[in-house]
Amino acid sequence: MTYEQLLTALRQKARTEQRDGYEFIVKPIPDSEEGWGELDPRVLQVHQETAARMQGQTFPPVPEDPVEFAQMMRKMMGWENRDVTGGAVKTECREIEGSETKIPVRIYTPPVEGKRPAVVFFHGGGFIGGSLKTVENPCKCLAYHAGAVVVSVDYRLAPEHPYPAGLTDCFDAVRWVHDHADELGVDPEQIAVAGDSAGGNLSTVCALMDRDKQTNLIQYQVLIYPTVNMAGAEVEGYKWSLDNYEIRNHREYIERALGFMGSGERKGPQLHDLYLQGRAEVTDPYMSPLLADLHGMPDTLIITGEFDFLRFENEAYARKLARSGVNTTVIQYNGVDHAFMDKIGQYPQAEDCMTEIAKGVRRRFGR
């Protein structure tokens, strides 16, 4: 199949069901007979190439210094990807005034006239890494298909800037978009937040803050494989286990990725320790929103992968949101693992993910 045929197959083969009060959409592997239980061929290729590069290599010891550890991890993050919009989206780099510091942002404006929705986007990276560059092409794709202005936020990172510095920057950015709606050409009543992984956490915590402060800024949240249970609490039917994943093929690669990220046996400092540094408990709802009261949260779209180590806490979050009266949809992409969005232009699931988010934004705001 060509790349375009794979995109078409993802749309045509999607299955929808009602599950625990929310809409659950499964996107099978587009060119697999079974469509589940194994890695997508493009994901498998990346795993195989990575394993081949690492074979026989010796690695330096993990730094004990938190800043050195973060710097090492940052070098490993991100993925080269491409603009799938054909250059149709305008990009502007700016610094905005936050309550504590200036915040760099990139603003992506689609070729659409009139007042548009706004999506404030927070990149992933475990609260210690990630960059605007990695998510630039996904943000362009979202802006183009949603007809929305996307504001990507370069919030402060731990450990140099521990909690709540990054979160403060993110909420400040939402306020700034609302206050500068006319300048941006957006409707101040049509603001969404979105983010991947740690950025998904920051998105939904911003929505919690918006509800708690009664500022009523955020009308829609899109959470791309978000971390919502940093405490690892066994609540809402959630308990992480490798046995929860149904694996038919490629077990070696799948178990290696899931075991490394899901078991808590990673070497080096724990990400939540680098982020919190004693300034809050890991059970704080603004750290582990799965433990929060979720009544009054905005309509929600959650994106996850069949072999994402956060998949089951994402499903638990969807259940709790739905039970709290929140209109919730989950889209699961089979055959992919964590951070698949970074590979837009290589994985068809990444582009389809952004177009599905765009559809959600259009639907929520009647576009």
Active site (catalytic) residues:
197, 308, 338
| Cα gap 209→221, rounded to integer Å | 13
What is the Rg, in whole angstroms, of the alpha carbon atoms belonging to the chain? 19
CB 306 within 8 Å of CB 215: no
End-to-end CA gap in the chain = 32
Distance (Å, rounded) from C-alpha 289 to C-alpha 138? 25
Rounded Cα–Cα distance for residues 52 and 42 (Å): 15
Residues whose CB falls within 8 Å of the CB of residue 169, separated by 6 or more in sequence, listed in order? 98, 100, 101, 103, 153, 155, 156
